[in-house]
Amino acid sequence: MIDVVDCPLPATFQDAGRPGYRHLGVPLSGALDPEWLAIANALVGNPPHTVALEMRLLGPRLRVRESITIALAGEFSARIKDASGQSRPAANWRSHTLAAGDLLQIGGLRSGIGYLAVHGGFDLPLVLGSRSTYARAGLGGIEGRALRTGDKVKVGAPQGLPSVAGATGIPAHLPQAPAVPSAPLRVIPGPQRDCFTDDAWQQFLGAEFTVSREADRMGLRLDGPRLAHTRGADIVSDGVTPGAIQVPGDGRPIVLLADCQTVGGYPKIATVIGADLPRLGHALPGQVLRFAAVTMAEALEARREAASALAATIAAIGAPGPALDLDALYSANLIDGVIDAN
């Protein structure tokens, strides 16, 4: 059992989402960055799509009632405080075994989003095949809503391979943190490309767009040049998907993300390719985005490359050498200046 001591910003449980229900208006949902979800899970010995906690900007403080193994995927500045009040940093991209009573202070997040995985996953009900939170319809997660202060979350029984850390006490770690590329997002021309002038298409590919404050798991509204339609901005609604870029009447594009609706009534100028969707999920307000058109063949090749790169990243997870075992060093009190008397 984990007690949520405080949760200052919304955080949601996410897995691979709810494929198979979009014809009923149920969004796909699921992790914004499924690759980092898979890495976080691999670090604690879980199958790749096990439910984890997805956080943005700031993570909660959690107290564990029994010993568990956790891992953080993302650029956090987390600390672990034990029952005697001693505190040590919880490095990212590696597993940590917490003792009963330990406080995990996840803190600020420098990457757009990040994940907390626990060995065995979180014990949450399956709703339409997924534990992902979709708060607009109260599906998944804890009672269909974001995590909040005072929640109690059960840890599930391990289902996958025994965790390296769980089985042996040796932490698992990723030798190198994955990079979030800043190259332009690759797109395929959208189903309603012909609803836009050629000038608008060239502007779309040539200009810089800034993520506005209207940014959540449903989508990102972008500021930049207004994209002109050839004949109005309303179409009879048709299917949309995460990565689709809708342009309403005001000419400001909206990039759809995991929680997007299943159908939409605005023309779609382009669609971000599957291989680049995970990094879209990290975009924060103020960030600059650019787009580049690729062919369908290039998009498929990028998907294959992304899949093999992820497999290689997960295969590289191993036990660090003794000199890198920071937990052991810190807990043995060998390094000055890391003891937090509070």
Beta carbon of residue 297, minimum distance to another protein (angstroms, whole number): 10
Q: Give 174 or 270: the residue with its C-beta nearer to another protein.
A: 270
The region that residue 214 occupies, defined by phi over 0 for left and psi between -120 and 50 for alpha, beta otherwise, is beta
Smaller CB separation from another protein, 2 or 195: 195
Q: Which is nearer to another protein, 87 or 271 (CB)?
A: 271
What is the closest distance, in whole angstroms, from the C-beta atom of residue 129 to another protein in the complex?
8
Residues found near another protein in the complex (CB under 8 A): 19-28, 127-129, 136-139, 188-192, 235-241, 243-244, 261-263, 268, 271-274, 296, 299-300, 303-304, 307
* Minimum distance, C-beta of residue 222 to another protein, in the bound complex (Å): 17
Establish how many alpha carbons lie within 13 A of residue 67's alpha carbon, considering only the half-sphere containing its beta carbon.
7
Q: Nearer Cβ to another protein, position 312 or 323?
A: 312
Amino acid in the structure at residue 337: G
Tokens 């010995």 correspond to 45
**Other beta carbons within 10 Å of 311:** 12
Residue nearer to another protein on the CB measure, 82 or 298: 298
Which residue lies nearer to another protein by CB, 24 or 341?
Answer: 24
> Rounded to the nearest whole angstrom, what is the least distance from the CB of residue 143 to another protein in the complex?
12
Distances (CA, A) of 277 to 33, 69, 186, 282: 7, 29, 9, 9
Task: Give min distance, CB of 144 to another protein, in A.
Answer: 9
Closest CA to 180 of 273, 112, 271, 259: 112
Shortest approach of another protein to residue 235 CB, angstroms?
7
Rounded-to-integer distance, Cα 192 and Cα 174, Å: 42
Q: Which amino acid is at 119?
A: H
| DSSP letter string, 263-327 | EESS-EEEEE-GGGHHHHTT--TT-EE-EEE--HHHHHHHHHHHHHHHHHHHHT-BPPPGGG-HH
